Amino acid sequence: MSMSICVYVSHVLYILLPMVRFVHTADWQLGQCRDYLDEDAQTRLNESRIEAISAIGSLAVEESCSFVVVCGDVFEHNQVNRRVLSRALSAMKEARDVVFYLLPGNHDPLNASSIYYSPDFQSRPDNVYLLDSADPVEIEPGVELIGAPWPNKEPTSDLVTDACSYLSDDALDNGRVRIVVGHGGTDTLAMGRVGSKTISTTSLESLIGQGRIHYVALGDRHSTTSVGNTGRIWYSGSPEPTDFRETDPGNVLIVDVDEQIVEVTPKPVGRWSFVEEARVLTSGEDVDLLGEWLTAISDKKRAIVQLDLSGQVSVKQKARLDEILASYCDEFAHLTEKSDWTSLVLIPDNMDEQEVGLSGYALATWNELKAEALSSNPEKARIAKESLAIMYRIAKH
């Protein structure tokens, strides 16, 4: 009789256990500087990353999430200036109804010079918590976080699996929901680059299958990505994109999880964009269409654009292309062409020479540059193409 009562009570406790809802984010990389951005654009990028913290806090409140896990690389490195740290902590403090759990990653490891040991961080707001060990943290009744912080930049083992190896059977016996917070690459996405520190997907899926852990929140991959087959291992991606290669950046994840169910919903928060565009130019119309494409890009001051141009154009068309790119240069955060200048071939035609109407020394220089524009030396060809376009513009004006 007593045994049946015990089973009944256990079942009731399970039914009453609420589903956990939280925000999963990572790779804020606050304080990151890009050498290709000018001072104004870099300032805008810094501001946007702080604003992303506020947006995450607001989203957590709107979605009824009681906490946020930040899965490593909160800061670009351990020597970011005090203003970056101060503004980040202030943004988290403003979200007073939300608790932020920060995990040290490979960019900001928990070594002797760690930013997390600085006096400024030590005096952090009450709603900012550091996951500085693998000890389970009970954040609310029946819910535990298991952190796997990086102790240095070159760990010698799989930190996430190591953190889970200390777990007891409490999750099985007492109906606990366990959320693992880690950082690093997984073997299933490593493309053959597996090392001792690579996270074992098989090990995590085994722990999930046993009911010892229920969700693995990862950082390091800047694109939102599900790992494995359980639907319980995810990279959130970075809240702001950081590179052209990223497939789905700019998101955070709203996670609903209990012992039986998991639901992961990406939510966009990023405002910046990295845009790559390949175009083959063979006519003046192609050049104008490229200009129309640039015009259509929204929020140019937060767009980083890289053009991969190929084909062949006349001097007139090259001059028009240069005018278009120059007119947009200050509108975009950054606008650049790929460095392979030999892909876009400049072929001066008779119409070019007729329009510029050169003679004497100027005509001789023009013809010399025409020959150099076809040089097998990429740098020599680039300079010649630019010079021809400049001569064309000067002659036409």
* The domain boundary residue, chosen from 268, 295, 325: 268
For residue 115, pLDDT over 90 is answered with: yes
| Domain span at 384 | 273-396
Domain annotation covers residue 8: no
For residue 98, pLDDT over 80 is answered with: yes
- What pLDDT is stored for residue 82 in this prediction? 95
- Chain-centroid distance of CA 134 in Å reads 26
Same structural domain for residues 114 and 192?
Answer: yes
Same structural domain for residues 248 and 350?
Answer: no
Same structural domain for residues 184 and 128?
Answer: yes
DSSP letter (8 states) at residue 330: T
The answer to whether 270 touches 246, Cβ cutoff 8 Å, is: no
* The domain boundary residue, chosen from 233, 268, 303: 268
- What pLDDT is stored for residue 359 in this prediction? 64
**CA distance between the termini of the chain:** 101
Joined tokens for residue 253: 């994840």
- What pLDDT is stored for residue 384 in this prediction? 81
Same structural domain for residues 184 and 333?
Answer: no
Same structural domain for residues 131 and 97?
Answer: yes
DSSP letter (8 states) at residue 240: S
For residue 2, pLDDT over 50 is answered with: no
Domain annotation covers residue 5: no
Domain annotation covers residue 2: no
Helix residue ranges, H only, the chain:
2-16, 39-62, 82-94, 119-122, 159-164, 170-174, 201-210, 284-296, 315-328, 350-356, 360-372, 378-396
CB burial of residue 360 (10 Å; 0-12, 13-18, 19+)? exposed
Domain annotation covers residue 154: yes
Same structural domain for residues 238 and 308?
Answer: no
Give the pLDDT mean for 223-236: 97
- What pLDDT is stored for residue 196 in this prediction? 87
Same structural domain for residues 318 and 220?
Answer: no
Same structural domain for residues 296 and 277?
Answer: yes
Please identify which residue in the block is written with the tokens 């991969």.
308
Same structural domain for residues 162 and 218?
Answer: yes
CATH number at residue 100: 3.60.21.10
- What pLDDT is stored for residue 350 in this prediction? 59
For residue 35, pLDDT over 80 is answered with: yes
- Domains contained in the chain, number: 2
Using alpha carbons, list the distances in angstroms from residue 318 to 18, 342, 367, 373, 390: 64, 14, 16, 12, 10
> What residues contact 100, with CB distance under 8 A and at least 6 apart?
67, 68, 70, 92, 127, 128, 129
- What pLDDT is stored for residue 371 in this prediction? 79
Give the pLDDT mean for 8-20: 50
- What pLDDT is stored for residue 176 in this prediction? 85
Domain annotation covers residue 361: yes
Same structural domain for residues 43 and 62?
Answer: yes
Grade residue 4 by pLDDT with cuts at 50, 70 and 90: very low
Using alpha carbons, list the distances in angstroms from residue 131 to 21, 150, 181, 304, 336: 19, 10, 9, 34, 40
Give the pLDDT mean for 67-92: 98
Domain annotation covers residue 334: yes
For residue 200, pLDDT over 50 is answered with: yes
Give the pLDDT mean for 351-380: 72
- Chain-centroid distance of CA 23 in Å reads 17
Same structural domain for residues 256 and 290?
Answer: no
- The pTM (predicted TM-score) of the whole model is 0.85
Distance CA 281, CA 221 (A): 35
Give the pLDDT mean for 340-352: 65
Domain annotation covers residue 9: no
Same structural domain for residues 289 and 157?
Answer: no
Helix residue ranges, H only, 186-283:
201-210
Grade residue 6 by pLDDT with cuts at 50, 70 and 90: very low
Ranked by mean pLDDT, the top range of 23-27, 32-36, 138-142, 211-215 is 23-27
Distance CA 218, CA 235 (A): 5
* The domain boundary residue, chosen from 268, 283, 301: 268
